[in-house]
Amino acid sequence: MEHLFKGLIEGIGEDFTREGLIKTPARATKALYFLTSGYKENLDEIFNEAIFNENSNDMVIIKNIEFYSLCEHHMLPFWGTCHVGYIPNGKIVGLSKVARLVNHFSRRLQVQERLTKQIAVTLKEYLDAEGVAVIIQAKHLCMMMRGIEKQQSETLTKSMVGCFLESDRKNNEFMRLIGLE
């Protein structure tokens, strides 16, 4: 991949042999591999024996999980916070695993809409939860640095599965508890 970055640097009119750019292709390659490391992770390893039987059906919320991703349309960063809530159906998961799940899907070329849905559906499947709610608030450099150039814009996406789709009360409770209602 380093030769591709050299070509990109050369393509914009720079000299990749200039002192400040000599190591840039190697650094950019390493950074891109990290930013897309979600492709190489295994979901079973993420949950790694951290699903526990628990007789609970009370809502669990992990809010303000920060994330960073790359827009698949422009390969520019978008970042923000993810709020995840679920209602157990006899199983709970270690809290750090929810944050790891967010990282797993955000460390790919991504769109926010898909990212939100992937987190919700995966958590529902692994826990057989009664319901899962995910809200992501993010800023996109593809809207801030180029194109329309709206620096204060923020995108909010929401994915509700299971009982969150069926119950306005649970949906509203989740929104209130994360501070969006």
Catalytic center residues: 71-74, 112, 140, 142
Angle between helices 95-106 and 112-127 (to 10 degrees): 140
Give the residue carrying structure tokens 């042999």: 17
Measure the CA–CA gap between 138 and 82, rounded to whole angstroms.
Answer: 8
Question: Tokens in use for 141?
Answer: 């450099």
Measure the CA–CA gap between 121 and 124, rounded to whole angstroms.
Answer: 5
List of residues 6+ apart from 30 with CB closer than 8 A: none
| DSSP secondary structure letter of residue 21 | G
Measure the CA–CA gap between 161 and 130, rounded to whole angstroms.
Answer: 9
Measure the CA–CA gap between 59 and 180, rounded to whole angstroms.
Answer: 16
List of residues 6+ apart from 61 with CB closer than 8 A: 83, 84, 85, 174, 177, 178
